[in-house]
Amino acid sequence: MIKNTPKYIITGGAGFIGSHLVEHLVKKNRKVVVIDNLSTGRLENLKEFKGKIKFIKCDISKKGKWMNEFKGQFYVFHLAALADIVPSIQSPKKYFESNVTGTLNILEASRQGKIKKILYSASSSCYGIPTRYPTN
């Protein structure tokens, strides 16, 4: 690990996109903390980086000790979310807690931890069901 190298938190880091971001940052000798509840992500996606990252299994919709990880970090990539339109209509409370309350908790932890930058990513499902393909 390079001294004074930027430190990164990746929520949803065990998912498809998150694990590729983890791979990229690890190859650049960055300190990486992955936060994931493994509801859609898989530890198998991170097995190559065992011992090179810190993994925290938790639910970001619930405040907890995981929020302390934000102190001393530089950047947050917030990729954790539940996607898919139909299930969100069928279980709106579950999706609200995960996506809205979880994001609020990430923002609050970032504010308290004095994070320099946050990158938020969402799926195209946040735009609803398109009338035309490809979508703008």
Q: What is the pLDDT of residue 135?
A: 75
Q: What is the pLDDT of residue 2?
A: 47
Tokens of 103: 């994001």
pTM to 2 decimal places:
0.88
Q: What is the pLDDT of residue 4?
A: 61
* Regions of the chain with pLDDT less than 50: 1-2
Q: What is the pLDDT of residue 1?
A: 44
| Cα–Cα–Cα angle for 83, 116, 47, rounded to 5 degrees | 50
Give CA–CA dist 119/31, Å, rounded: 17
Sheet holding 75-78, edge to edge: 54-57, 31-36, 7-11, 75-78, 117-120
